A and B are shown apart, each in its own frame.
Chain A
Amino acid sequence: MDAVVDFMSIVAIVAGAAFFAAGTIGLLRFPDTMTRLHALTKADNLGVGLVILGLLPRAGSITAGIKLLLVWLLVLFAGAIVSQLVGRVASREPPR
């Protein structure tokens, strides 16, 4: 059982890192602000989420696990808010 949990944790962490790579590539290669925003949220939500999922079995206690989930919720929420705000600003001005 322990080895299975360990394996899943590693898979999750590696997947999370892959999403960060995807987010970076998107940020650098997409043609304009709105599409880059789209790429960023993938890294924010799934990158951090999968990393935290992978770390949950290694957290020391239930409290630490709950705090980890709270970090993920905050990152999710902050990412969503900033995306909305940046999106409104970006959609209004013409690209410089």
Chain B
Amino acid sequence: MTFVPGAAALFILGMVAIGLLRALRGPRDADRLLSVQLLGTGAIAALLLYGVPSGDASAIDVALTLALLAAFASIAFVKAAGGYDDEPS
């Protein structure tokens, strides 16, 4: 069953790639951002599925950096595309 992580990684990447169609079609910038978020999360999952079973410890560090910086880029995007996005709820 050692092929399961690799196959899962391939499957997840295929899924988030299909999700990118939303980036193509989605009428608003927010929809495009959502599909990029999905891509980022999928890339993190695929990275870990490839790195951890083969004992590559650096994969986890790259996943940490990806998670932080994808969040940073998304927040920057929403702040720019949405104008002032903070109001007292």
Contact = CB atoms under 8 A, between A and B. Distances in A.
A5 interface: no
Given A20-B12, A36-B22, A78 B74 contact: yes
- Measured as residues with beta carbon below 8 angstroms from the partner, the interface class of chain A is 35 or more
Majority SS at the chain A contact face: helix
A87 B74 CA distance: 13
Given A10-B4, A48-B44, A55-B53, A24 B30 contact: no
Interface of B: 1, 4-5, 8, 11-12, 15-16, 18-19, 21-22, 26-28, 30-31, 33-35, 37-38, 41-42, 44-45, 48-49, 52-53, 55, 57, 60-61, 63-64, 67-68, 70-71, 74-75, 78-79, 81-82, 85-87
Interface of A: 6, 10, 13-14, 16-17, 20-21, 23-24, 27-28, 33, 36-37, 40, 43-44, 47-48, 51-52, 55, 58-60, 64, 67-68, 70-71, 74-75, 77-79, 81-82, 85-86, 88-90, 92-93, 95-96
